[in-house]
């Protein structure tokens, strides 16, 4: 699952729109949608989205055996 899909799921579960996520994270709707289309996010941008919505952010490498690093 790519990050754009995760942001859409986040919006549904938090009962807000993706446009609201954009507003809360101080970016335009078009900017967030463009990043979602390209699936091109910096870690700092993802943290800003998480902070704006009031959720945590975890980044893991997952080995073939399921181990997370």
The model carries a pTM of: 0.84
The predicted model gives 8-14 an average pLDDT of 96
In a domain, 60, yes or no: no
Distance CA 60, CA 69 (A): 6
Q: Spell out the SS3 assignment of the chain.
A: CCHHHHHHHHHHHHCCCHHHHHHHCCCCHHHHHHHHHHCCCCHHHHHHHHHHHCCCCCCCCECCCCCEC
| Number of domains forming the structure of the chain | 1
Residue range of the domain that includes 40: 3-53
The string of pLDDT tens digits covering residues 13-57 is 999 999 999 999 999 999 999 999 999 999 999 999 999 999 999
In a domain, 12, yes or no: yes
Question: What pLDDT, on a 0 to 100 scale, did the predictor assign at position 1?
Answer: 84
| pLDDT tier, 60 (very low <50, low <70, confident <90, very high otherwise) | confident
| pLDDT tier, 6 (very low <50, low <70, confident <90, very high otherwise) | very high
């Amino acid at each position: 699952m790519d990050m754009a899909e995760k942001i859409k799921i986040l919006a549904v579960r938090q009962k807000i729109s993706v446009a609201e996520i954009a507003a809360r994270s101080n970016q335009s709707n078009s900017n967030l949608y463009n990043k979602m289309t390209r699936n091109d996010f910096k870690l700092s941008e993802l943290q800003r989205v998480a902070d704006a919505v009031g959720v945590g952010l975890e980044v893991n490498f997952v080995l073939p055996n399921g181990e997370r690093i």
